[in-house]
Structure formats: C-alpha cells, structure tokens
Structure 1
Amino acid sequence: MSAPRTVRRDIPRRTTAALATAAVITLTLAACTGGEATPTPDGSQGFPDDGCTHIAIATSSEKVNMLDELATAFKDSPEHEALDTCATVRPTNVSSGNAARYLTSGEDWPSDDRALWPTLWSPASTVWTDRVSAAASANLVGSPASFTRTPVVFGMPEPMAKALGWPDEPISITDLEGLCQDPDGWGSVGKDIWGAFKISKTNPNTSTTGLSTILMQSYEASGKAEGLTSADVDAAADFSRVFEECVIHYGDTTGNVLSTLYDETQNGANGSAYVSAVALEETSLLNYNKGNPDSHTVQPGETLTPPKTKLVAVYPSGGSMWSDNPVTVLGADWVTAEQRTAGEAFAAFLQTTAAQEILPEYGFRPLDESVPLGDLFTANFGVDPAQPRVTLPKPEVDVISTAIDQWTQVRKPSSVLELIDISGSMDEPIGDGRSRLDGAIQGAQTTLDHFRSTDEVGVWAFTTDVDSPEGEGIQVLRRVTPLGADGEKLDSSLDDLRYAQRNGTPLYDAVLTAYEAMSERAEPGRINAIVVLSDGEDTDSSTSLDSLIAKIGKSTKEGGTDAPVRIFPIAYGSGADTSALQRIADATGGQMFDASDAERIDLVFASVINNF
C-alpha cells in the first residue's frame, strides 16, 4: 500500500477537533464489541499473509456478517478471476454517520492499522454519501451503487402490536404519537398494567435508522408521501417534539436496546416496562427473532436461541423510508490503483445473481426481484414481504440537514449525573502520558458541548473519607441543574478533581446514593440517567451488590415508574469489575461501556453521552 498523505487536496479542512473525535468513536469501539474482523497471528486484524491485494470495506454493523460471506464468495467469482492479482476483502464496522463525519474532515482514516483504511465504503443509505459529496467532494465518494435494501419499521413485541389491531388494522406514526401524548399511555387501549408507551430511537447524527425516523415523522406531519421540503420539516417541529417525549434514550445503534429487551424476554418478562416500540431496520428485527439481538458476527458452532416473545414489524401506514445500502470505491489518496481495480470488481460482483442470492439469508432484500426471499421473510419471523405499501423517497440534502438540526432542538431533554471514581488506583498511568484520572477528566470535559443549555448536568466524585450533604463517600462538584452558560465553569470544576484526596472504592454505596437522589428528582418527559465511571472493584461499601440490584431494579419491572433512572457504567481499565457493572446496567435498562483500553476513555465517554 502506498504511503498515505496527511490531507487530501480536494477536501477543505474545516471541521473541528470535536467532530473528528466523534467520527472515530464507532471505529475505535468496534474492536471492543467484535465488529471488526478477527485478528490473525501476523497482527493484520483480518488480512492473511496471502500475497493478495487487501481491500477493507467500511460498513455499518448490520452488514458485517453478510459481507464476510460475500467476500468469500467473491473469491470464486468471474469478477475475481478477471483480476491480474487475487484480492482479499474484509469488512470493518464503522457507523454510517461517523464515517461520513470523518470523510468530510479531510484527515487520515482514524486507525493505527493502515490495512484497515477502507478502499470501499458501504453505509446503510445513500443519504450519507450524498452528505459527504455535498460537504466535501463528489470525487471522494465516487459512484455509489445500491446492492441491497431494507425498510425502516417499528418493531413491537407481538402482544403489544396486537393490542393496537395488528396485523389487521393499519398503524400510523400519528397513532404512535397519540399513545406518546396520552397520559394514560397503554391504558388508553385497555392495557393499564403496561404503563407508559415508550419508544427507542437512535441518534440521527450517527445512525441511518435514527435519521430515517425523523424524516418519516416529518412526512407524516406534512401529510406527504413525496416532495418533502425544509419548510415541511420546520412545520413538523411540534409533532416531532411530542413524538420524542416517549423516547427512553438515544444511542448509536439499536443493538444495545434489542439486547436488553431480549434479556428481559428470556428472563420471563415481556419487556413492556422497558420499551414498547423500537425504530429499526427490518433486517435488525429479523436478526432479533433469530436470537441475535445485537446482530453480532455469529461464530462457527454458536447456537442462537429465539426470544420467547418475538418482535413484529409495524410498517407505518403513511410509508417507510428504505436503507438502500450503497457500495462505492473511495476517491481517497490512500487507495492504490490495485486496490481501486479490486474494489471495483467486488462492487460489480455484489450486483450479480450469485451475490444477490446470499442477501436474503441475512435478512436483506435483494435488488434482483427474481431472487426469492426465502423462509426468513415470513410472518413466523415477524415480517410481511408485501410491505411497506408506501415508499417514502429520500429528500434533498438540504432537507436532511434541516431535519438533523431540528432534532437537536426537539429531542427529549436530559438530566444526567456523572459519577466518577477518584479512588487511589485512578493515579495509575494509562500509557499515553496521562493518569487514569486525567483521562476521566478529559473525557468528561470533551463531552460538555453535547448538552444543550437547558439539559441538566451534575458531577459527583466518590471515594472513602470524604462526605457532603449528599452522603458519606460523595464529593459534589456540581449539583444536577440546567447547564445554562456554566460549561466553562464546570470544565474548571472537573480540573479540581486532580487535587482531590483519593482513597477506597465504595462503588455500590455511591451508586445507590446517586440513584436515590436522581429518583427523587426524576421527571417524565426527560431522560434521567447516571453515568458511572469506575476503574476497580468495590472495596468499601456497606451495601452488597445483590441489595443494590434489588433496590435499583424496580423501575424496569412491568408497570414500573414513568420516570425511570437508567445507569450507564463505564468499565475503565483492565481492573474494573465488568460483571458487577453489567448487572447494574441491566437492572435499570441502561448499558455498560467497555473502556478496558484506558487510552480510549475520551472516545468511550463521548459514545456514552451520545445516548442522551
């Protein structure tokens, strides 16, 4: 591979450091979540020493499994045979939105392993290639061509969908908005025990599904099925604001929410107190019903267990947008002539019947209509191959930008308490010239810009031999209040942690104290959350883990509170008690994040805050 240059000459350098940081989050975390190819003994992370041209394809997570098989089939194809040199293709997991942000930044690809710098890009939608083309360079994204598609739907536990008349009665986004707005929630359809109607959506800045959903909301509010304008989006603001009010929290992918729902289902609950509907792609719903809720790469010999309660696809009667899954050879200057030729051959192979026949096995609809969908696309797996009956076209780039900007204003408000471990072990170095505490402070500081002035933000630290009005072991840096114009002041307060005394680790006591305080002030209509960062095991609590779980898990039970407090632990460094932190997250319907590579804490912290 030729040596990469620092800047591509055809792309203006106009994005901020914060934008570039956001762009690398998904790529960096993929190694922690199994999204990238398995490393080989020679350390090339998926590429064997085979003498072939190596082609990395940056792709959204739900296509990694499928592209692995397509890469294998490519080796036996006429397209491969026509090459002068053999080619080996490997997918690497990068969210569509983050890849788009990175590609507009003009920087090198954010990976130390240059073998993983992509020749090909396959985001979930041409929405993202259009945005890069408009914001940076049309040459950079080449000539994107879709090779498969999947509609955006609302996945609902089957009993809930039936309570709304599914499958006989059409269900619209307006119907779902009505359930969000009705103070009786599920009680309005005779299901009082299910409590409030709750929706899970992903962040449209990083997720195709999240972006498609806000556009579908604008289509619904306008009464249009085509020709959506920026004015239509502006006029839909109040409609979308109501719809956002019943969102449980935002995230980078639907996989984490689906995993929590799956666990609830397998443990005997139907998950109704956690979430009522999930905006997702049809292929993710099919994976869930197969027993792969996070759409991970299925290993040889792995057995998948279907959920006890399947999700069914609700295709909104007003129409669905489709993820059209393009593939394109990037015009980046790190792509060699050999890689370009091999990448074009692989892209051409994806259009062939041999490749199209593989797609339905992974829950994707082929573009070649002569290819049968097979047994997966049936009611047994919760889908209807005849749906959606109305296809909503992709709007112009300026309309999409208007929708993303509007979401920033109408998204559900948040109330977040950051709870930071400052025990003695936080003084340990993390290998990049910083201590663990330095990394935690900088991680918290770099995410402050994510919050709006109206969002509530608080910061507590915990260790032994300190106390405050909130309780023993707690040091309050900032009470949970609206951020306002206090970002700079909070930044300075976080710096003060460098000089705090650092002793033992009363993790469970601190979590319980924080949970009780947040529960007292939690309100419906906003995301109430605690971010817990700890680098070790509990050593000094009077509360046991089992007692803590019993006390914090009440709000996720069926008919639980309408203002749940969810906990998002960060397991910081190799010594963190990941088992305990995972149980804490599961008990509240939150999510644990892995920062075992402590040098990456800045990026992990940003990924956590992206949920709010």
Structure 2
Amino acid sequence: MPGDPLRNDAPLRPKRRRALIATALAASLAMLAGCFPISFDDGSDGGGDFADDGCTSVVVATSSEKVNMLDALADAFKESPEMAALDTCATIRPIDVSSGNGARFLSSGEDWPDDDVRRWPTMWSPASTVWTDRVAAAASPSLVGEPESFTHTPIIFGMPETMARALGWPDAEISITDLAALCADPEGWASVGKPLWGSFKISKTNPNTSTTGLSTILMQSYEAADKTADLTAADVTDAAEFSRIFEECVIHYGDTTGKVLTRLYDEAQSGTSGSGYVSAVALEETSLINYNLGNPDSHTVQPGETLTPPREKLVAVYPAGGSMWSDNPITVLGASWVTAEQATAGEAFARFLQTDTAQGILPEFGFRPLDESVPLGDLFTVENGIVAEQPATTLPKPEVAVVSAAIDQWTEIRKPSSVLELIDISGSMDEEIGDGRSKLDGAIEGAQTTLAHFRRTDEVGVWAFTTGLSSSAGAGVGILREVSPLGSDLEQLQSSLDDLRFADREGTPLYDAIAAAYDEMTARAEPGRINAIVVLSDGQDTDSRISLDSLVAKIGTASREGGDDAPVRIFPIAYGEGADTNALARIAEATGGQWFDASDAAKIDLVFASVINNF
C-alpha cells in the first residue's frame, strides 16, 4: 500500500507442518466460526498431576462451574457402595472443558487434543444434553453413550439488585418481552424513571460454544411464539425480528459469562457503577450464586482460598414466559481410548450420582437436585438473590433441527460489528513459540483463521505497529486495511496479512498505536454496532510519546462522555511471557473491554478465536 511500507529484507520463514492439535482445532474453527480456548485445569490437584495411585483413573471432562462439585462428589464416591462393588478402586478426576469445546472435539473424529493421554476423558458432563444430542447427530450416538442428568440449574437473567428492584423485583413478573422493550426504547432506563443509568445493556454468550447463549436464543423464540412447548423451526424463523431487537442491546458476545461477571465484580469492588457496563447478564442460576459468593468466574476454588462477596449482589430475574434448564448430563464415552475397566468405573460413578447421598451434596455448590424433596439450603434464598420457587414454567429442550435453526438464525441477526485489529510486529515477534512457528507466524495465522467469523456486512480493519512505519494513521502505524465492510474481501485480506512477514520490525510504540486506533474508531463508531479494537502485543511499550496514564485518561474520559450509545471497547491479547499484562488490563478496563492471556504463545490460534467470539 502506498505510504504504508511493510517490508523486511529477511527471507520469508517457511511454513512448517503444524502439530495435530492446532490443525484439528483450526479446522473446527473454520467449520463453526469461532470458539474459545480450551481449559484443561484439573480441579482435584490444581496442577494436573495424574500420578498413579493404584486405582482406575476416570477423567470427567466437565463445564467449569461443576469442577468443585464433582471433586466433592468424587470424594464421597470413594466411600460409597457403588465403589465397593468394583473389582478395583477408582479415582474420579474432573477437568474443566467448556461444553461447546467438548462437543467440537468429540465431533471432529480425532483423538482428544491433549498431549497427556492420562487426561483423555472417560466421561463427559456438559451443561446440557443439547450438546450430547449434537454430537450424536454429527458423529455417532454410540460416542456419547447414554447421557443421564444428575442435576440441573435454570437459565435466568442476573441483574444488580438496585436495577432489578427498579423493575419491581422480586414481586413483579418480568418477561423477555419487557427486557426487549427496554432495549428498543431510545430512553433506556429513563423510561422507568432512572435516566442516570443510560441505555439498557445485556450481556450474552456465543451460542456456538455456550449453553447459556444457546438456551437464551431458544428462550427468545419461545417468547416470540408465545409458546411454552413444541417449539418448531418455523417458530424460530418467525421470531427473527423479535430476536434482532433483543440482540441490539447486547454489549458484546462473551466467550464465557465468567469474563463478564469478573468485569462486573471488579467494578462493584472498586465502587464504580456497573450500570455503565451491563444491566443484565444471561446466565445460569448457579453462576449467579457463585458470583454472590465472590467467585464470579466459577473457578476451581483452591484449599485455603478466601472468597469476598461483591458489594452489590446480583439477583435472579426468572423470565415470566419460562426458563430452559441446563440439565447437566453425565455419560461414559464410547471413545476408542476408554478401556473396559474405566467404563465400568464410570458407570458406577454415574449410578452414585443418582443416590440420596450425592443429591444431598449438590445444593452446597449452587445446583438443584433432581429430587425436589431434597432441601435446597441457605444458598437458595432471596437474601442471596434467588427465588427458590422459580422458575414457574419450564421450557423443554427442542428437537436438534430446531436448535440448529436457532444457531443459524443467530449468525444472521447477531449485532453487527466494527472491529479494528491492531497487531504488534516489533522485533521480538521473530521469537519461536515452540511449534515451528515464530510469534509473528502465530499472530498472522490466528488472525487469518478467525476472519471467517465475520459476515460480509461487518466492518473489519487491520493495522500493524512498530517504529519506522508511517501512514495516515500516524507514525509507527501501517495500514493493511482501512475499517470498512468486509464484503467479498476475505481472501484478499487473509493474503494481505502474509505481507506482515516482510515488514521491518523494530520498537514497540504500543500506547501511541492504541491512541491512534482509538481516535479512528471513536470517530466512526455507530450506535447499533459492537465497536471494538483488538490489540495483540508481545512486549512492553518502548517508543510511545503518550504515557500509559495519559492513554488511560484519554480512553476512559471518552468512554464516560458521550460514549454510552456507541462505546469503543478494547480487547488486548497479552502474547507471550514478555507482554505487559498490567498495562493491557488497565487499557481494557478503561473501555469496558476484556484482556486475554496468551502467555502460552503456541495457543495464540485459540486465544485469537476466543477474542473474536465476542463480536
């Protein structure tokens, strides 16, 4: 591009054959347009040490909010008649794997993507049988065995208590239609006498990977059809305009509710009003309970860890038209790597989960037992934001074809986005990341893969920054593509990203580049779009004229003054061990964005996908 020199006298680094895990996951990303990073954190030992204890090892891949509970259930299983009936003892080892990722990995037909075969799952416990149904349809029913629910939790909307009471909580019935009306009303909160709170903002997760996100779009279709059962694909089609209105007040699509809740929690603890960020969060009831306990991301609580409740709790709004439930099945996988001994032990654990002993443990972790006679305990009270008698109406899980129709529709009606990707190409990006690629290779390939997420009508731009570059955006910045509708330029843009390999790579004017990008995006930001900057940097700022404090003051002020209708949020990726995580976190927080940890540089493909999942 004239005036935007991106050159490098060094020869092009040859592409090398990528590891199996990266290839398999990249293919999955291309097929399903977005995913977020896999987590293989083990809840039982904190570090994933699967040392042989003389017992049959039964790994359970489970959604994060159940890891602590399954640890407790595993301990109780050790003393159970079900364990005693086995020929050898068994050790249950839960690992954190999102429901959407678990479905994707199992449907791929490949081995489980973990180098340590000891961590390959014998059992799977996603948040909903929606996921087991999808794997059965996409791969094989025998692969997912015979899933059976052992606990459940309803899908709700969590709201700061002050806001919920302004809508009549806990006495008034609040419907999804009521929330949609607040979304559509240009007066926002002023329409209910709270003008200082600005517009009504909702946070939802991506339905391709999140049970909550998927359930919410189905609940929207139920609401629009005025049904409480027998939802059809035609109903979903007819609900398109209603759902489009609802999507318009989404702040951005998170990859997990935990990231949004963490942001909200941090604001509450710092005394900052959460109304500037989000008004309502679609989430599971158990996640709201965890938030109010001081565990907003539902992480695995370690022994001795102290949780601090938020200054303002969230309360549960159970939609008047009904809620879907995450029915939390567990099943022994019919995968080739599961041995007969592991399968037998897994079946014994599944039977144990249906016993009175196991069901009595569930409420201690914010989950409802299947047996309604089991006391719910102190977590399920109005004081903790919960109305135990709700939801009054249960919305059944639709057929697989209806679920697929809802996901396909969301792809078309989701809130449009305007995203500028800002990529560090300084000298340190030549460093190897351990899989035959340089950091720059990983950044380019991550960006190229995730561009397929965007629709033709979404606006996409790509800038690069290092000292020595110059463009209309300013010193230190090169423009590969101005922010504009993607149209039919996908392949051309993916090819243009390869040009970064030839660019001069010198210093890191990180703050100057972000300031220039922010000026560009605030000048063009529009209401009704997700306006965002994705920043990838692998180091410390070395060459900026603006300081970090001045940058944060600039973007923070712009966010507060007139930025409510069309805010520009920044999503930094801290790439590699040398990235300035503290600075990047401050920058994200100043705009209501989120920062992402890619300290394991070899996983940049997955982290990039996680970020793009917000749009």
CA contact (8 A) 1:104 1:135 kept: yes
**How far off its partner does 1:46 sit?**
3.6
Change (3 A) 1:15 1:512: closer
Tell me what 2:17 maps to: none
Looking at structure 2, the residues matched to 35 and 216 of structure 1 have their Cα atoms a distance apart, in angstroms, of 33
CA contact (8 A) 1:195 1:559 kept: no
CA contact (8 A) 2:203 2:278 kept: yes
Tell me what 1:17 maps to: 27
**How far off its partner does 1:18 sit?**
3.5
Please point out which of 222, 227, 233 is paired with 1:224: 227
Q: Percent identity?
A: 74
Looking at structure 1, the residues matched to 144 and 399 of structure 2 have their Cα atoms a distance apart, in angstroms, of 17
Tell me what 1:267 maps to: 270
Please state if 1:126 is matched with 2:141.
Answer: no
SS at structure 2 position matched to 1:542: coil
Please point out which of 254, 258, 261 is paired with 1:258: 261
Looking at structure 2, the residues matched to 48 and 599 of structure 1 have their Cα atoms a distance apart, in angstroms, of 26
Looking at structure 2, the residues matched to 430 and 139 of structure 1 have their Cα atoms a distance apart, in angstroms, of 38
SS at structure 2 position matched to 1:508: helix
Change (3 A) 1:87 1:35: closer
Please state if 1:53 is matched with 2:56.
Answer: yes
Change (3 A) 1:557 1:312: farther
Please point out which of 579, 585, 590 is paired with 1:587: 590
**How far off its partner does 1:554 sit?**
3.1
**How far off its partner does 1:36 sit?**
5.5
Tell me what 1:523 maps to: 526
Change (3 A) 1:419 1:201: same
Tell me what 1:201 maps to: 204
Please point out which of 26, 36, 39 is paired with 1:30: 39
Give structure 1 stretches of 5+ with no counterpart.
1-6, 8-13
Tell me what 2:118 maps to: 115
CA contact (8 A) 2:80 2:352 kept: yes
Please state if 1:64 is matched with 2:67.
Answer: yes
Looking at structure 1, the residues matched to 431 and 547 of structure 2 have their Cα atoms a distance apart, in angstroms, of 27
Looking at structure 1, the residues matched to 46 and 380 of structure 2 have their Cα atoms a distance apart, in angstroms, of 34
Which stretch of the first structure deviates more once superposed, 486-495 or 92-101? 92-101
1:56-205 equivalent positions in 2, closer than 5 A: 56-205=59-208
1:82-481 equivalent positions in 2, closer than 5 A: 82-481=85-484
Looking at structure 2, the residues matched to 19 and 203 of structure 1 have their Cα atoms a distance apart, in angstroms, of 14
**How far off its partner does 1:15 sit?**
11
Tell me what 1:3 maps to: none
Deviations 1:17-67 (A, max 9, x none): 2348979965x5425xx5665466xxxx24232111111111111111111
CA contact (8 A) 1:193 1:559 kept: no
Looking at structure 2, the residues matched to 443 and 176 of structure 1 have their Cα atoms a distance apart, in angstroms, of 36
Change (3 A) 1:479 1:16: closer
SS at structure 2 position matched to 1:357: helix
Looking at structure 2, the residues matched to 46 and 395 of structure 1 have their Cα atoms a distance apart, in angstroms, of 40
SS at structure 2 position matched to 1:178: helix
Change (3 A) 1:609 1:426: same
Looking at structure 1, the residues matched to 181 and 267 of structure 2 have their Cα atoms a distance apart, in angstroms, of 26
Looking at structure 2, the residues matched to 462 and 440 of structure 1 have their Cα atoms a distance apart, in angstroms, of 13
Give structure 2 stretches of 5+ with no counterpart.
1-19
Please point out which of 549, 553, 557 is paired with 1:550: 553
Tell me what 1:507 maps to: 510
Deviations 1:480-504 (A, max 9, x none): 0000000111011100001111110
**How far off its partner does 1:258 sit?**
0.3
Measured on the aligned residues, the alpha-carbon RMSD in Å equals 1.8
**How far off its partner does 1:16 sit?**
8.3
CA contact (8 A) 2:34 2:610 kept: no
Looking at structure 1, the residues matched to 381 and 560 of structure 2 have their Cα atoms a distance apart, in angstroms, of 31
Looking at structure 2, the residues matched to 515 and 535 of structure 1 have their Cα atoms a distance apart, in angstroms, of 20
Looking at structure 2, the residues matched to 556 and 388 of structure 1 have their Cα atoms a distance apart, in angstroms, of 37
Deviations 1:59-95 (A, max 9, x none): 1111111111111111111111111111111111111
Change (3 A) 1:37 1:499: farther
CA contact (8 A) 2:38 2:97 kept: no
Tell me what 1:605 maps to: 608
Instruction: Give the residue type in structure 2 aligned to 1:394.
Output: K
Structure having greater relative contact order (Cα 8 Å, sep ≥ 6):
2
Q: Structure 2 length as normaliser, TM-score?
A: 0.94
Looking at structure 2, the residues matched to 133 and 436 of structure 1 have their Cα atoms a distance apart, in angstroms, of 38
Q: Which runs of 4+ in 1 moved over 6 A?
A: 20-24
Q: Structure 1 length as normaliser, TM-score?
A: 0.94
CA contact (8 A) 2:61 2:123 kept: yes
SS at structure 2 position matched to 1:272: helix
SS at structure 2 position matched to 1:299: coil
Deviations 1:355-382 (A, max 9, x none): 1111101100001222110011001110
The number of aligned residues is 593
Change (3 A) 1:561 1:19: closer
Instruction: Give the residue type in structure 2 aligned to 1:470.
Output: A
Deviations 1:359-412 (A, max 9, x none): 101100001222110011001110100000011111111100100000000000
